Amino acid sequence: MLSLSVNGQSYPVDVPDDMPLLWVLRDVIGLTGTKFGCGMAQCGACTVHLDGQAVRSCVLPVEAIGNRAITTIEAVGNTPSGQKIQQAWLEVDVVQCGYCQSGQIMAAAALLARTPQPTDQDIDAAMAGNLCRCATYVRIRAAIKQAATGKAEILQTIGSTPEGAVS
C-alpha cells in the first residue's frame, strides 16, 4: 500500500508499482481534471506538479514518487503562480475545447514559478511539450505574458465593433 500526497491530502492507494500516476489520479482517486492524451509524454495533457516541478504523469510510475507533493489542476489555483495563470487564462479567454488546458495551465504555472518574467523563448521551451489541437497557442502566449507582467495583453486583434470594447 502506497501513500500519495495529492493537493495537500494523503491518499493510501493499493495499485501496481508500475501504474502511472495519471491513472491513479483519474481511475483510483477520482481526480479527472488531469487528462490522458497519448500515454507516452508526447502531448502534455497529463501534466501535474511534483514538488512544484511539471512532470508528465502518464509515464511516471507511482513507485517513483516517494513522499514528494503532487499538485493537480484541481488545486493549482492555491499556488501564487497557478492563481495568476488561471486568472490570465480567463481574461485572455484562452480555452477552446479545453481538454489540453489542464496540462497547459500546469506547465505554464511551473514556468512562471521558476521564471517570473519569461521571454518568448522561455515560453516556447516550457510549453512546446503541450499540444493543443484547437491551436490556442497565440492566446496561451498572451496569457502567460499577462500573468507575468500584470499588464493586459490585447485580447482582440479585431478592431471591429464600433466601440472596439473588450468586455
Partner 1 sequence: MSTGTFSPKPEQAVDLQRRQILKSSGLAIAFLWLGGTGAASAMISARRQPGDTAAAMADGNPPFAPNAFIRVDSEGPVRLVMPSVEMGQGIYTGCCMLLAEELGVGLDQIKLEHSPPSDELYGIPALGGQITGGSTSTRSTWSVLREAGAVARSMLVSAAAVQWHVDPSTCTVDRGVVHHAPSGRSASFNQLAATAGRLPMPDKVQLTDPKDFKLIGKPIRRVDAADKVKGATQFGIDVRVPGMKVATVMACPTFNGKLASIDDKATRRVPGVVDVLRLDNAVAVVGEHFWAAKKGMEALVIDWNRGENANLTTRQLQDAIADSARNGKGIVARDDGARPQGTLVQSEYQSPMLAHATMEPMNCTVHVTHDRCEIWTGTQVPMRAAQEAAKITGLPAEKVVLHNQYLGGGFGRRLETDWVEQAVALAKQVPYPLKVVWTREEDIRQDHMRPMYHDVISAVVDANGRPAWFGYRTSGGSVLARFAPGAMGKDGLDDDAVECVVELPYDIPKARVEWIRHDMPPGIIVGWWRGVGPTHNLFVVESFLDELAHRANKDPLEFRRSLLQKNARALGVLNLAAEKIGWGAHPLPPRVGRGIALGEPFGSHVCVVVETEVTAQGEVRLRKVVAAIDVGIAVNTSSIEAQVQGGVLFGLSAALYSELTIKHGAVEQGNFNDYRVLRINEAPVVEVHRVVNAEPPGGLGEVGTAIAAPALANAIFAATGVRLYQLPVDRKLLVQNPEALKSVASASAREGSEVA
**Region from 3-11, 63-71, 130-138, 145-153 binding partner 1, contact rule CB under 8 A:** 130-138
Residue 15 interacting with partner 1 (CB under 8 A): yes
Gap between the terminal Cα atoms of the chain: 51
Q: Which is nearer to partner 1, 35 or 79 (CB)?
A: 35
From the list 4-12, 63-71, 152-160, the region that binds partner 1 by CB under 8 A is 152-160
What's the chain look like in SS3? CEEEEECCEEEEECCCCCCEHHHHHHHHHCCCCCCCCCCCCCCCCCEEEECCEEEEHHHCEHHHCCCCEEECCCCHHHCHHHHHHHHHHHHHCCCCCCCCHHHHHHHHHHHHHHCCCCCHHHHHHHHCCCCCCCCCHHHHHHHHHHHHHCCCCCCCCCCCCCCCCCC
Choice from 41, 64, 69, 153 touching partner 1 (CB under 8 A)? 41
Tell me: does residue 65 bind partner 1 (CB under 8 A): no
Q: Is 132 exposed, middle or buried (0-12, 13-18, 19+ CB in 10 A)?
A: buried
Q: Is 112 in the site for partner 1 (CB under 8 A)?
A: no
Task: Find the shortest distance in angstroms from Cβ 67 to partner 1.
Answer: 20
Site string for partner 1, 71-110 (x = CB under 8 A): -xxx--x--------x--xxx-xxxxxxxxxx--x-x--x
39 binding partner 1? (CB under 8 A): yes
12 belongs to the binding site for partner 1 (CB under 8 A): no
- Residue with smaller CB distance to partner 1, 49 or 67: 49
- Residue 153 as a binder of partner 1 (CB under 8 A): the answer is no
Nearer to partner 1, 5 or 36 (CB): 36
